[in-house]
């Protein structure tokens, strides 16, 4: 499996600009064809490029697995139709004042963990769209579970301060082993600097050798 240091739009915080599953990856408009080909070579999936509601923060606003993608309520009909046509999955907007679903939801194809600040109605909609059982909880004292950890079908990389009980809980939810680590030279909010699926990982360009080793354990 390949792990590649990468920048998006000149930033090492690549996780805020993109997302990946084992079926597809979404990146913002503006990448060169050479960069898109490098992404395809690492993640081994189709790459779709678009902005969401004129924002390039794909990884902050959206969360997905191989079954579906959840989006903020203000994403346009045209963008929803584009994703449905190109991805062939469930594409749904969540009617909520909370809109940073990439930070509030952590998902793979086995399960999902969502922030405790989401309502039961919102949780049920997420469960329907992603097609997996959904649990609510915090990690390392933070409600932003999607920024505190990243999950693939092979493993989870989480904030170094998660507890042993939280680690066990993650394994139960996602049916995969858990490791802890950082990205981009010590940033514990790993979701900000990693775009990953079961086939490979793109990591922020400031990521160190020891950090790469920890990331490689979940591939």
Q: Taken in order 2, 4, 195, 85, is the CA torsion positive or negative?
A: negative
Secondary structure (H, E, C), the chain: CEEEEECECCECCHHHCCEECCCEEEECCCCCHHHHHHHHHHHCCEEEECCECCECCHHHHCEECCCEEEEECCCCHHHHHHHHHHHCCEEEEECCCCCCHHHHEEECCCEEEECCCCCHHHHHHHHHHHCCEEEECCECCECCHHHHEEECCCCEEECCCCCHHHHHHHHHHHCCCEEECCECCCECCHHHCEEECCCEEEEECCCCHHHHHHHHCCC
Q: Where are the domains of the chain?
A: 8-214
Chain mean pLDDT for the chain: 97
Percent of the chain with pLDDT over 70: 100
- pLDDT at site 179: 97
- Asked if the model's pLDDT at residue 167 lies above 80, the reply is yes
pLDDT in tens, 109-120: 999 999 999 999
Q: Do residues 45 and 39 touch, judged by C-beta distance below 8 A? A: no
Q: Model confidence over 191-203: pLDDT tens digits?
A: 999 999 999 999 9
What is residue 6's predicted lDDT score, i.e. its pLDDT? 97
Average pLDDT over residues 195-215: 97
pLDDT digits (tens, 9 = 90+) for 43-76: 999 999 999 999 999 999 999 999 999 999 999 9
User: pTM of the full predicted structure?
Assistant: 0.96
pLDDT > 90 in the chain, percent: 98
Phi then psi dihedrals of residue 149, to 5 deg: -150, 160
pLDDT at 219 over 90: no
**CATH, range 8-214:** 3.75.10.10
Q: Residues 82-90: what's their mean pLDDT?
A: 96
pLDDT(27) > 80: yes
């Amino acid at each position: 499996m390949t792990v590649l240091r990468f920048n998006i739009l000149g930033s090492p915080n690549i996780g805020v600009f993109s997302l990946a599953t084992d079926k597809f990856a979404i990146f913002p408009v503006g990448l060169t064809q050479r960069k898109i080909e490098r992404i395809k070579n690492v993640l081994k999936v189709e790459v779709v490029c678009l902005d969401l509601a004129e924002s390039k923060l794909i990884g902050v606003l959206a969360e997905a697995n191989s079954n579906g993608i959840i989006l903020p309520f203000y994403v346009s009909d045209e963008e929803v139709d584009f994703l449905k046509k190109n991805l062939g999955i469930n594409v749904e907007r969540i009617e909520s004042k909370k809109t940073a679903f990439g930070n509030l939801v952590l998902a793979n194809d086995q399960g999902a963990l969502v922030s405790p600040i989401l309502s039961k109605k919102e949780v049920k909609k997420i469960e329907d769209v992603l097609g997996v059982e959904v649990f609510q909880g915090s990690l390392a004292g933070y409600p932003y579970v999607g920024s505190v950890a990243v999950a693939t079908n092979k493993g989870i990389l989480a904030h170094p301060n998660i507890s042993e009980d939280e680690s066990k809980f993650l394994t139960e939810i996602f049916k995969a082993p858990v490791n802890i680590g950082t990205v981009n030279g010590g940033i514990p909010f790993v979701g900000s600097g990693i775009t990953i699926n079961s086939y490979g990982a793109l990591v922020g360009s400031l990521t160190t050798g020891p950090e790469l080793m920890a990331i490689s354990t979940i591939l």
